[in-house]
Amino acid sequence: MNPSCFFIPLLCGVLAGCAQAASSPKALAQAMQSALDRGDFAAARALADLDAAPAELHFFYFDQVRECADESRCTVAVAPLDAEFRQQLAEQAAQEKAELPPIEGLVTIAAKAKDGSSSGTMKMPYARIGKDCRIVALRLSPAEIARRRAITGEQMLREMFAAGVYDTALGTRRTDWETAATRLPADGGEAGAALVAQTRAMAAAADARDPDAAVRSGGRIAALVYADKDYDGKPVSLEARKRKLQVQSLRLLREVKIGGGYRLGDDAALVVEARDGIGWIERGAVLMSREGGEWVVSGRQLTTFPAD
């Protein structure tokens, strides 16, 4: 269970237009409660049109469904739109260059971890669209989508360099990569080959709904995330592990193409273009680090936009 009180507005809702309509706020809350109680991704998906939402929004939405099924007891309710949330949503819209939807009120999901370790409330705005009440969120404006499409992977790489790449040996961020690092070939060398192989293997594991394959293929972090025991050593059911892999797969990179990069010691910054789990383009830079003789992903600086 995420202990934060609520996600930032862009991440706490989903886009308008659902196939399973709700005629009132109460009906919307009841439909959401039913989906959460069953851990039913298909039912939750039917309550929202996610076609124009980026992968991060898909992830946060469906991860709430997963958490309510496997880790928490969740209660859905409706609440009035408060001034603080409205202001946060307006600020987020300005920051993301997104369009602000009409909002009538909030759907809240109060979650308490089954082991009593944490609790929190997720807030999702809703609006009446036509005859139905639907959950809504910010939409990227056409101008913002066009701006993102025009950004190159090299631009994102240089933004990463300007911000500084953390050097574990020095214990500080280095901003001299462009001059100190060695330029890599178009395929990214060893690091590029490792990234392509890892992402292919993880995509195959996700498609097969095989968390054991994800443990074998995804490196140290994946071994922890998809393990058959939790951090306290308690068994995790296979179905719960499959649900976690299904949700995490929304953010996995697929069809990765390398466009060169730089290497400095045991780190490599690669220019990449890929698709994520919902088919959007992910373009920018991926930082790889060599740990224990293996190359692993240690950072990403990517922009995302619809493929068409």
Task: Residue 211: name the closest of 198, 225, 200 by CA.
Answer: 225
Q: How many CA atoms lie within 13 A of 276 on its CB side?
A: 23
Q: Tens of pLDDT along 153-212?
A: 999 999 999 999 998 888 899 999 999 999 999 999 999 999 999 999 999 999 999 999
Domains of the chain by residue range? 9-140, 145-209+245-305
Q: How far apart are CA 104 and CA 244, in angstroms?
A: 32
Query: What is the reported pTM?
Result: 0.85
Percent with pLDDT over 70 in the chain: 93
Q: Tens of pLDDT along 73-126?
A: 999 999 999 999 999 988 988 888 888 778 899 999 999 999 888 999 999 888
Q: What is the DSSP secondary-structure string of the chain?
A: ---SS---GGGS---S--SS-BSSHHHHHHHHHHHHHHT-HHHHHHT---TTS-HHHHHHHHHHHHHHHHTEEEEEEEEPPPHHHHHHHHHHHHHHTEEPPP--EEEEEEEEETTSS-EEEEEEEEEEETTEEEE---EE-HHHHHHHHH--HHHHHHHHHHH-EEETTTTEEE--HHHHSEEEPTT-HHHHHHHHHHHHHHHHHHHTT-HHHHHHHSHHHHHHHT-SB-TTS-B--HHHHHHHHHHHGGG--EEEEEEEEEEETTEEEEEEEEE-TTS-EEEEEEEEEEETTEEEEEEEEEEEE---
Fold of 9-140: Nuclear Transport Factor 2; Chain: A, (3.10.450)
Q: How far apart are CA 288 and CA 308, in angstroms?
A: 29
Q: Tens of pLDDT along 206-254?
A: 999 999 999 998 888 899 999 999 988 999 999 999 999 999 999 999 9
Q: Tens of pLDDT along 263-301?
A: 999 999 999 999 999 999 999 999 999 988 899 999 999
